[in-house]
Chain A
Amino acid sequence: MTDRLMFSRRQILKTSAAGAVLGFAPSLLPVRSAFAAGATIGFIYVGPKDDYGYNQAHAEGAAVLKGMEGISIIEEENVPETVDVQKTMESMINLDGATMLFPTSFGYFDPHMLAMCEKFPEIRFRHCGGMWSEGKHPKNAGSYFGYIGQGQYLNGVAAGHATKTKKIGFVAAKPIPQVLLNINSFLLGARSVDPAITCQVIFTGEWSLAVKEAEATNALVDQGADVITCHVDSPKVVVETAAGRGTFICGYHANQSPLAPEKYLTGAEWNWANIYKMYVEKLVAGEELPNFTRGGLADGFVKMSPLGSGVSEAARAQFDGTLAEIMKGGFSVIKGPLNNNKGEVVATEGQAFVETAIELESMDYLVEGVVGSTS
């Protein structure tokens, strides 16, 4: 394995040999010429790449690379976390000559991407999710991920000013640490405006299940919530349903303001363009690629959607103030004294967890003020 892996000679030989033998030449030509000039990079998505959510956030990041000299981007959407994704990776390597792959869904890592890392030691794999660990996983693999909890905290600040009923709502996929941190952050952000605010959460149980997401949104509105956010793969249904019921919305994953321009307050978005550009620039320059990289708002991994028309002056001021605070670094959303919603202490007076704190990675509670249960 060479570190200067703009393109490996073996890979070119293999591809062109396969092309010649199997008569692939005509359809491979455009790819090969682009490939010879730089690198072919593959992106794999678990859902549609225009889902206004998780996958679109990655596709928007990938789209930025399309303008880069000598780089060709190949993409495949709706690839399930089964043997399908393994074959998609192999196909991108064998048929398109990809030398770097970004399988973006969390469930692609183990066992699928790891199996391919072993099979293709000269190809680089970087996975979204932060699971790579030194010594345990292969060197040609790696992880990148963002701390987006503080984005949900800022969503909460905007929501805290917008709510009149003092009830806000959260449509969540599964009670896993990442999602729980987002729910807790959203509520705590709102409580930084008014400590009387409560947040009702409904878990749908699936990452993508439109019917349940719509039902959950309606149920939250029926119970009086007047600002809704979510953590599901595609927030489209939640946003449109909530806007249809006349509530405000805070976005997640990508910018959903085109779906409800009047009702969209702000949103916590991934800023993958930054990360993908970093990787590819290093790749082109022949530099070492980091195996593990993470960051939050202050590091440019996460960004906020522009504030919408429903955001008041007071809200804007507090939002900007909090954002400035976060950008300084070392900001803690989870800090004591803080109880969970069963009355147990999760942080004592003076205890604070910055976003990188390892304790947050195994969060299994909902904080006081969140109405709902993790099981």
Chain B
Amino acid sequence: MTEIASGPVASTLGGPALAGALEWAARRAEGLVIPLAALIVGMALFSIFIMLLGKSPAQLFDLMWRGGFGSWFSVQNTLSRAAPLLLAALCVALPARLGLVVIGGEGAIVLGGVAAAAMAVLVQGAPALIGVILMGIAGAVAGGVWIGAVGALRHYRAVNETISSLLMAYIAIALMNHLVEGPLRDPASLNKPSTHPMDPAFVVGAVPGMDVHWGLVAGIIACVISWILIEKTRWGFAARIAGGNVRAAQVQGLAVGPLIVGFCALAGAFAGLAGMIEVAAVQGNANASLASGYGYTGILVAFLARHNPLAIIPVAILLGGIDASGGLLQRRMDLPDATVQVLQGMIFIVILFSETFYGRLRVFNPDLWKRPA
């Protein structure tokens, strides 16, 4: 979805300027209307599914609204759940702009968490800010190396990045289990093997006035930075070229290798940071609960956002809301948890299908206006 000719066409006459504005609006609207329509179609399909179960879709959507967004408590609930998804989704979205499908962000999250917890023990007693920064660096480096390696394997050894990142996620989880149950284990953690608890001074607290930790802010900042990187810098431009056609990029003399490894490493660093935040803001140490599937939900978020870092923010909030309301659906309508997964799956499929409409719908594509239907 590279928008090359997106500005209004400069003109001195009123007519062409209006036409230009229309064209501009049409191109912009495409990216908004198609996902929204897909969302509505997904919800409609889900309604049929709910009716087949003998339940009322009206009640369901009412509850989803209340559970996800209908009150200040629900909004905070939604944002808390969205926070880790922002960084996890970036781990998919950034390599995707280079044409790589990296689905192993879970591994980077888990290792980032372990590295951060280990760092916290190492620098115990340090001033809080320094401790937190060092934990963040440890998490980001661990995640960055992990996914950076996926990029390097891809570029230098032609190993399929989708498979390798997924397999490396399994290795990362096994490695975490080994470290948490072995060398890094707090002997006091008997039946739930964990690392030593971190210095309470390093706890990352809540955003003032909200019951949501700072991970949300970190995630939003990371999304904005990623958007600027991709849309406004020469590296981002080079990445988009390479993502469109690697050969063409190489012919142009772009350093595709460092670009791929760099983007993957940055993606992994964001995921590692998500793991660090999970440790510093929620768990207080590293343990098996770090592998709770944020990395996989992140894939869904990134694809729904069409790998646009800014779009990740609303999509993560939407999925956070669906997740937050899932509990209410279970409690009030006696629906199994799998219901929410069915909804997510349906939305995912419809959005993927909707990809085929980009550039083909007359109304959104000014290039087609001039041609006869």
Contact = CB atoms under 8 A, between A and B. Distances in A.
A binds B: yes
Interface of A: 18, 22, 24, 27, 31, 48, 74-84, 86-88, 90-92, 94-96, 106-107, 110-111, 129, 174-178, 205-207, 361-362, 375
B275 to A, nearest CB: 12
B81 A83 contact: yes
Contact of B328 (A48, A91, A175): A91
B181 A175 contact: yes
A174 B181 contact: yes
Nearest to B337: A78
| Most chain B Cβ neighbours within 10 Å, of A31, A80, A95, A375 | A95
For the complex of A and B, the 3 pairs showing the least CB-CB separation, nearest first, are A78-B337, A81-B289, A80-B292
B177 A176 contact: no
What does DSSP make chain B's interface, helix, strand, loop or mixed?
helix
B331 A87 contact: no
Contact of A90 (B63, B73, B84, B336): B73
Contacts of B73: 18, 90-91, 94-95
Nearest to A47: B337
B332 A84 contact: no
Interface string B97-124: 0000000000000000000000000000
Nearest to B213: A83
Nearest to B77: A87
Contacts of B181: 174-175, 375
Contacts of B174: 205
A179 to B, nearest CB: 8
B164 interface: no
B354 interface: no
A81 B290 CA distance: 9
A92 B331 contact: yes
B331 A176 contact: no
Interface string B177-199: 10001100000001111000000
16 contacts: A22-B66, A22-B70, A27-B66, A48-B337, A82-B84, A83-B83, A84-B323, A87-B80, A92-B331, A174-B177, A175-B181, A176-B190, A176-B192, A177-B190, A177-B191, A178-B191
Contacts of A75: 330-331
B6 to A, nearest CB: 39
B324 to A, nearest CB: 7
A111 B331 contact: no
A29 to B, nearest CB: 11
A92 B327 CA distance: 9
B327 A79 contact: yes
A48 B330 contact: no
A205 to B, nearest CB: 5
A16 B177 CA distance: 46
Given A74-B331, A83-B80, A106 B191 contact: yes
Interface string B190-224: 11110000000000000000000100000000000
B192 A362 contact: no
| Most chain A Cβ neighbours within 10 Å, of B63, B293, B336 | B336
Contacts of B71: 18, 22, 24
B62 to A, nearest CB: 7
B83 to A, nearest CB: 8
